[in-house]
Amino acid sequence: MCGIVGYLGNNDCIENIKQGLLNVEYRGYDSAGISYIDGNKIVVQKRVGNVQNLFDTITCPDGIHCGIGHTRWATHGEVCEKNAHPHLSFNNKFSLVHNGIIENYAMLRDNVLSEIPFRTDVDTESIVNMVAYINQEKPEMPIVNCLGESLKSLQGSYAIAMIAKETPDVIYFARKESPLLIGVADGETFISSDILGLGKNCEKYVVVPNGVYGVIATDGIKAYKQGGKPYELEFKSMISLGERADKGDNAHFMQKEINEIPAVIVNTIDIYLKPLNPLTIIEPSFWEGIERIEFIACGTSYHASMVGAMFAEDNAHKVARTHFASEFVYNPPFVDEHTLCVFVSQSGETADTLHAVKVAKEKGAKTLGVTNVMTSNLVHVCDHTLPICAGVEVAVASTKAYNAQVTVLLLLADFLRDGNYETIARRISSEAMTLNLEEMWANAKKFVKKISNSRSIYFVGRHMDYITCLESSLKLKEISYIPCEAYAAGELKHGTIALVEEGTTMLAIVTEPKLISKTLNIVEQAKARGATLIYYTSLNLKDFAVKDKDVMRAPVVDVELSPLFSIIPMQMVAYLVSVGKGYNPDRPRNLAKSVTVE
Ligand code: M6R
């Protein structure tokens, strides 16, 4: 979380930083700020609130060509102007933006920097003050070396961009764990936490490797490894970012991203059906000797992994389990060189997931990433990575990426069985092409009022439907703030049914014919105790005395593919409820798109 950008070039720096910040704002929107040098002075302007609010309420001079900017998701210190980035050093000679966490900031502040006045509650201030302190102690030392020296004392993670009063047309940078990229165009250099934050006209980019720091100046970029050894950055041609930050005719990115689901699935399948595709280009020996598969992820990606594990076990006949990344690191299962660990992450930057990769590698496991961002950290740390090809996902609540993850994991399950995933790939693609999204939106609308008026909602289902319950519940709670939980239907009677009373809404998901009576028996018990029921199904429930008005229709698809498609109307419901309540579904409170802290 937190997005950083920097610009050095011939064009309008302020406008470039603004555009960059808008493109990385999904990483956090508690506050925003910008810093540049005007005459002989470092200027810092910051505001609580989003990037647009910052630029609506500040004025900047013309003719600025170098600067840095930040959009914050608060970790240390409350959300207020004082704690917003950029942070100035105690002597006003340096200004710095940071994404990450400095774990030993209090120790630095209270020991080495104990004589120095701190102005904020933020860990970042210890970095900029450390640079200024070293610069004050050793004025002959080049600033880039002062930065290199400062990094030695930091524990934690960081992506840093810094400007210095003494060197007006220069940006200093450093990276450890948190993402940082540099992009170059004719006469311009950009720096950002995400490829989306680099300028539209960038021709080349590089992901700054871990442990590298350096300096961007008008005469070029110099980089160093920790210890000061020069390091050659390897730039690549820029990838196409045509669709970034463009909502088209949609009111929100989330709406756009839901509408893209059929195309995303078809596109993903097309890529995996090419003769040279992400699965078959991996050397065959990687797949040999796998005895068990562990899927590791967080949030929505965890739910996609549950589908992946279920199918891997059923189709590939391997023991397959799912783990929360944040738990895997403390309580890893038995993992060795015969274990395939699959790390699923839309962003590829989730700190919990990246930590879990480290743990799995230490135990000798084979590691496979599944991600939407092929420039992300996950790609660098895993042995191999499968792209999900969902295109840029901006809304904080993940939708199309979930469907793309499930698609790739379904292919993987069949691939692990006998290498042949073409049949399922073609089935998925043809189902995706027949989806009628307009009808789904219309059906979803009918239930918005009932759901919006609920005090709390229980999603219940069995087997694959239980996974859809989990993801539906997460989607609804994160953008509508209605308390909701998902339960395996059979578990209700073992305790949770005690919570049911008049006013409880229960949403039963039933898409597998063999489960109808078992799931409905349970929800009838809840109904008898006062629960209001909504049945979400693709099946005919007439024989079960269910009234049509209580039935929300799920898409009629191949039962085996239900988790991939039946989630779509639930994503729509969550979106519509959020909008109906007057919230911005793209920017839910307290959340950020990629969670880069543990
Ligand atoms: O980028 P990742 O897939 O690793 O992110 C994992 C979760 O943080 C993410 O899925 C989160 O739960 C979303 N807000 C869900 O909509």
Nearest CA to ligand 1 atom 7: 299
Q: Does residue 86 have a cis peptide bond before it, meaning omega lies within 30 degrees of 0?
A: yes
State the burial class of residue 366 (Cβ atoms within 10 Å of its Cβ: 0-12, 13-18, 19+). Answer: buried
Q: Which of ligand 1's atoms lies nearest the C-alpha of 401?
A: 3
Contact 393, 400 (CB under 8 A): yes
Nearest CA to ligand 1 atom 9: 299
What's the gap in Å between 342 CA and the centre of ligand 1? 16
What is residue 242's predicted lDDT score, i.e. its pLDDT?
55
Pair of tokens at residue 72: 């914050």
The residue to which tokens 């469907």 are assigned: 403
> Within 13 Å and on the Cβ side, how many CA atoms surround 344?
32
The residue to which tokens 């080049």 are assigned: 142
The string of pLDDT tens digits covering residues 68-107 is 999 998 887 899 999 999 999 999 999 999 999 999 999 9
Contact 472, 459 (CB under 8 A): yes
Superfamily of domain 436-586: Glucose-6-phosphate isomerase like protein; domain 1 (3.40.50.10490)
From the centroid of its chain, how far is CA 67? 26
Where in the chain are the domains?
3-237, 247-434, 436-586
Rounded distance between C-alpha atoms, residue 335 and residue 346, angstroms: 24
What is residue 522's predicted lDDT score, i.e. its pLDDT?
87
What's the gap in Å between 331 CA and the centre of ligand 1? 21
Q: To test the ligand 1 pocket, which listed residue (298, 375, 475, 479) has its Cβ within 8 A of the most ligand atoms? A: 298
Pair of tokens at residue 103: 């774990």
- CATH no. of 3-237: 3.60.20.10
Does an H or E element contain 344, and which? strand 339-345
What is residue 503's predicted lDDT score, i.e. its pLDDT?
83
Q: To test the ligand 1 pocket, which listed residue (342, 375, 398) has its Cβ within 8 A of the most ligand atoms? A: 398
- Cα dihedral 410, 413, 419, 420 sign: negative
Rounded distance between C-alpha atoms, residue 6 and residue 171, angstroms: 7
Nearest CA to ligand 1 atom 14: 397
What is residue 245's predicted lDDT score, i.e. its pLDDT?
60
What's the gap in Å between 350 CA and the centre of ligand 1? 8
Q: Is the pTM of this model over 0.75?
A: yes
Q: How many CB atoms lie within 10 A of CB 204?
A: 15
Active-site residue 318, yes or no?
A: no
What is residue 502's predicted lDDT score, i.e. its pLDDT?
86
Q: How many CB atoms lie within 10 A of CB 418?
A: 9
Give me the catalytic one of 18, 93, 256, 593. Answer: 593
Residues 6+ apart with CB under 8 A from 389: 264, 267, 268, 271, 372, 404
Instruction: Give the phi and the psi of residue 236 in degrees, each rounded to 5.
Output: -120, 160
Nearest CA to ligand 1 atom 12: 299
Q: 436-586: same fold as 247-434?
A: yes
What's the gap in Å between 388 CA and the centre of ligand 1? 14
Active-site residue 176, yes or no?
A: no
Rounded distance between C-alpha atoms, residue 167 and residue 454, angstroms: 59
What's the gap in Å between 352 CA and the centre of ligand 1? 11
- Cα dihedral 487, 492, 495, 500 sign: positive
Pair of tokens at residue 275: 């003769």
What is residue 401's predicted lDDT score, i.e. its pLDDT?
98
What is residue 244's predicted lDDT score, i.e. its pLDDT?
58
What's the gap in Å between 378 CA and the centre of ligand 1? 14
Q: To test the ligand 1 pocket, which listed residue (295, 301, 373, 376) has its Cβ within 8 A of the most ligand atoms? A: 301
pLDDT tens for the chain, 598 residues long, are 799 999 999 999 999 999 999 999 988 889 999 999 998 899 999 999 999 999 999 999 999 999 999 999 888 789 999 999 999 999 999 999 999 999 999 999 999 999 999 999 999 999 999 999 999 999 999 999 999 999 999 999 999 999 999 999 999 999 998 999 999 999 999 999 999 899 888 999 999 999 999 999 999 999 999 889 999 999 999 876 655 567 888 999 999 999 999 999 999 999 999 999 999 999 999 999 999 999 999 999 999 999 999 999 999 999 999 999 999 998 888 999 999 999 999 999 999 999 999 999 999 999 999 999 998 999 999 999 999 999 999 999 999 999 999 999 999 999 999 999 999 999 999 999 999 999 999 999 999 999 999 989 999 999 999 999 999 999 999 999 999 999 999 998 899 889 888 888 999 999 999 999 889 988 888 888 889 999 999 998 888 888 889 999 999 999 999 999 999 999 999 999 999 999 999 999 988 888 877 7
Q: Which of ligand 1's atoms lies nearest the C-alpha of 399?
A: 16
Q: Which of ligand 1's atoms lies nearest the C-alpha of 300?
A: 10
Ligand 1-lining residues (CB < 6 angstroms) = 298-301, 345-347, 350, 353, 396-398, 474, 478, 591, 594-595
What's the gap in Å between 397 CA and the centre of ligand 1? 7
Rounded distance between C-alpha atoms, residue 353 and residue 357, angstroms: 6
Rounded distance between C-alpha atoms, residue 23 and residue 245, angstroms: 6
Q: Which of ligand 1's atoms lies nearest the C-alpha of 396?
A: 14
How is domain 247-434 classified at the architecture level of CATH? 3-Layer(aba) Sandwich (3.40)
Contact 337, 364 (CB under 8 A): yes
What's the gap in Å between 379 CA and the centre of ligand 1? 17
Q: To test the ligand 1 pocket, which listed residue (342, 350, 467) has its Cβ within 8 A of the most ligand atoms? A: 350
Give me the catalytic one of 2, 66, 389, 484. Answer: 2
